[in-house]
Amino acid sequence: MRILTKITLGVGVVMLIGSIVAIIAGGGSFMGDLVENPTGTEKWTGTSPTTYEGNFEMMGIYYVFVEEGETVDVELVGGDADSRFIPCGENNDCEYYEWAGYTYVGGISVMTEGTWEVKFTGDGDVMIREQIIDIGGAMAVGLGFWGACCSICVLGLGIIFIFTLKDPQQQTGVLMVQPGQIPGQPIAGQAGVVQAQVQPGVPVGGAIHPAFEQQPRKEWTPPSEQPPSQGF
């Protein structure tokens, strides 16, 4: 397996594990409060007709409840198309949120954080409950899903490399020696062929080269036994 394939698969696995951890950690922080307190915590209660002035955050959800059996109109003073009171009938969630002795009538959404005034007209008790979204947890979940998608793409690329990138073939050399060939000289008609090193007295191709044939040893004769040299 090529090194590029190993690196690609390794990066994909690390990204996938990190994304899963981010989704689990972020989801636990982001969804934990929503599950435990689906209608948030009490922010304010009063009796209509009245007004409430307080701080509203862009990442907050503000549920408005009215005393059961009573009709109360709700208005976000100075609101616009983005920051306003949204009746539950518009989102089809009138039956989704419940609180003992009250009826859920809608929520307040703002796109500009700050102090806002809410005006209630009609008769009956009213209550505003607040749910603040954990921005860090929400971002972790989003990044986790994004990272998971990227890691799947990287792993897919690594799998493609497995089938498309092949290991290089091993190169083999052939040693060819002809009988009687002197080592170090190329064979006629076969340039570039590797020659084997030949030791004296070692057969090459079934024969010993004459240059390396062993010569007969001469016996040593003492000077006293040598014949007198002949003069001219």
The mean pLDDT value for 8-26 works out to: 74
The Cα 20–Cα 145 span in angstroms is: 8
- From 120, 149, 164, the end of a domain falls on 164
Q: Are residues 80 and 118 in the same domain?
A: yes
116 and 50 assigned to the same domain: yes
- The model's confidence at residue 194, banded by pLDDT at 50, 70 and 90, is very low
The pLDDT tens digits of the residues spanning 203-223 come to 545 555 555 555 556 566 666
- Inter-CA distances, 218 with 19, 57, 215, 230, Å: 89, 116, 9, 22
Greater confidence (38 vs 30) lies with: 38
- DSSP β-bridge partners for residue 79: none
Express each pLDDT in 110-146 by its tens digit: 999 899 999 999 999 999 999 887 666 667 667 777 8
Per the structure, the complete domain to which residue 147 belongs is given by 3-29+136-164
Q: Is the dihedral of CA 154, 157, 159, 161 positive or negative?
A: negative
pLDDT at residue 5 greater than cutoff 60:
yes
**DSSP β-ladder status, 114-132 and 60-67:** antiparallel
pTM listed for this prediction: 0.53
Per-residue pLDDT, averaged over 53-81, amounts to 93
Same domain, 24 and 83: no
CA distance 204 to 177: 7
Same domain, yes or no, for 41 and 131?
Answer: yes
- pLDDT at 87 exceeding the cut of 80: yes
Q: pLDDT tier at 10 (50, 70, 90 boundaries)?
A: confident
State whether 152 and 80 are in the same domain: no
Do 128 and 143 fall into the same domain? Answer: no
In a shared domain, residues 126 and 42: yes
- Asked if 48 and 128 sit in the same domain, the reply is yes
Q: Which residue has the higher pLDDT, 181 or 115?
A: 115
The DSSP symbol for 151 reads H
Residue 108 pLDDT exceeds 80? yes
- How would residue 181 be classed by pLDDT, with cut points 50, 70 and 90? low
Upper half-sphere CA count for residue 52 (Cβ side, 13 Å): 23
Structural domain count, the chain: 2
Distance CA 223, CA 229 (A): 11
**Of 164, 179, 209, which residue sits at a domain end?**
164
Which residues are CB-neighbours of 30 under 8 A, at least 6 positions away? Answer: 133, 134, 137, 138, 140, 141
What pLDDT does 232 receive?
44
- Is 148 a member of any domain? yes
Under the banding of pLDDT at 50, 70 and 90, the label for residue 39 is confident
**Which CATH number goes with the domain that contains 46?**
2.60.120
State yes or no: cis peptide before 186, omega within 30 of 0: no
